[in-house]
Amino acid sequence: MPGKRPEPSFEFVQLLTTHQSRMFAYILSLLGNRTQAEDVMQETNAVLWRKAHEFKLGTNFGAWMLRVAYFQVMAHRRKITRDRLVFDDDFLAGIADDAQQQSERHEEKQRLLVDCIGKLNERYQKLIRRRYTEGATLRSMASQSDQSESSIKQALFRARNALVECVKRHRPEEAL
């Protein structure tokens, strides 16, 4: 079929999927209304999908995605401006800049935390994963490891302290 766009690459789909929560938080911060944010997010995903061929792998997907989302928010605002009072474009642009910076800082902190977790000893990594990723209780962790709840609690305390120290060494100005 002439003029048909190529399907997005697997890498593009992975990037788009990975950044969904970040994009939603950004859109919600600009609109302040969950229902509108969900609508704009759907439209933004459709635009990103249509423009997938324009994205160059290896460049900053997050920045590109948030820029597209910003334009979709602006388009949405133009539609609803006729119906009610909304903030002016300059004010929203300021909020958008702040939200994007916060989003980037959050993403950097997430990367740093993952890196620091990887530097923990195997026991601490397992405890952190069980408690915070899997949501295990202290009681279940203790019964499965034949240790007391207090020893699990103490080990988690030490693991968290090791993470805080790791983060401070890498980014002292932005410690968790």
Return the amino acid letter for 131: R
Contacts 24+ apart (CB under 8 A), 48-55: 48/16, 49/8, 49/16, 50/5, 52/5, 52/8, 52/9, 52/12, 53/5, 53/6, 53/8, 55/12
1-107 carries CATH number 1.25.40: no
d(CA 36, CA 46): 15
Topology of domain 120-176 in CATH is: Arc Repressor Mutant, subunit A (1.10.10)
Q: How confident is the model at residue 82 (pLDDT cuts 50, 70, 90)?
A: low
Q: In this predicted structure, what is the pLDDT of residue 176?
A: 46
d(CA 126, CA 139): 16
Ranking 87-96, 118-127, 153-162 by mean pLDDT, the lowest is: 87-96
Q: Which two tokens stand for residue 170?
A: 């890498």
Sign of the torsion angle spanned by Cα atoms 71, 75, 76, 77: positive
pTM metric for this prediction: 0.51
The domain ranges of the chain are 1-107, 120-176
d(CA 90, CA 165): 40
Q: How confident is the model at residue 175 (pLDDT cuts 50, 70, 90)?
A: very low
d(CA 80, CA 12): 31
Residue 116 clears pLDDT 50, i.e. is over it:
yes
Q: In this predicted structure, what is the pLDDT of residue 3?
A: 61
Q: How confident is the model at residue 50 (pLDDT cuts 50, 70, 90)?
A: very high
Q: In this predicted structure, what is the pLDDT of residue 25?
A: 92
Q: How confident is the model at residue 1 (pLDDT cuts 50, 70, 90)?
A: very low
Cα atoms found within 13 Å of the Cα of residue 19, Cβ hemisphere only = 25
Report the mean per-residue pLDDT for the chain: 86
d(CA 41, CA 47): 10
Q: How confident is the model at residue 173 (pLDDT cuts 50, 70, 90)?
A: low
d(CA 73, CA 44): 9
Ranking 43-47, 119-123, 167-171 by mean pLDDT, the lowest is: 167-171
pLDDT in tens, 10-29: 888 898 998 999 999 999 99
For the beta carbon of residue 82, count every other beta carbon within 10 angstroms: 7
